[in-house]
Chains A and B, each alone.
Chain A
Amino acid sequence: AQRVTQPEKLLSVFKGAPVELKCNYSYSGSPELFWYVQYSRQRLQLLLRHISRESIKGFTADLNKGETSFHLKKPFAQEEDSAMYYCALSPKAAGNKLTFGGGTRVLVKP
Chain B
Amino acid sequence: EAGVAQSPRYKIIEKRQSVAFWCNPISGHATLYWYQQILGQGPKLLIQFQNNGVVDDSQLPKDRFSAERLKGVDSTLKIQPAKLEDSAVYLCASSQKQGNTEAFFGQGTRLTVV
Contacts and interface: CB of A to CB of B under 8 A. Distances in A.
A94 B55 CA distance: 10
A88 B108 CA distance: 18
Interface string A9-25: 00000000000000000
Interface stretch (A61-69, A70-78, A99-107): A99-107
Smallest CB-CB A-B distances: 7 pairs: A100-B42, A96-B103, A95-B98, A44-B105, A43-B107, A43-B105, A100-B43
Given A43-B3, A45-B105, A95 B48 contact: yes
Which size class do B's interface residues fall under? 20 to 34
A52 B74 CA distance: 30
Contact of A44 (B40, B41, B45, B91): B91
A96 B97 CA distance: 9
Interface of A: 4, 6, 32, 43-46, 49, 51, 86, 88, 90, 92-103
Given A95-B99, A96-B31, A96-B100, 12 more contacts: A43-B3, A43-B106, A44-B91, A51-B100, A86-B43, A95-B98, A96-B33, A96-B103, A99-B45, A102-B40, A102-B41, A103-B42
Contact of A98 (B41, B43, B98, B107): B43
Contacts of B107: 43
Contacts of B3: 43
A51 B4 CA distance: 25
Interface string B84-98: 000000010101011
A49 B40 contact: no
Contact of A93 (B41, B42, B91, B100): B100
B103 A100 contact: no
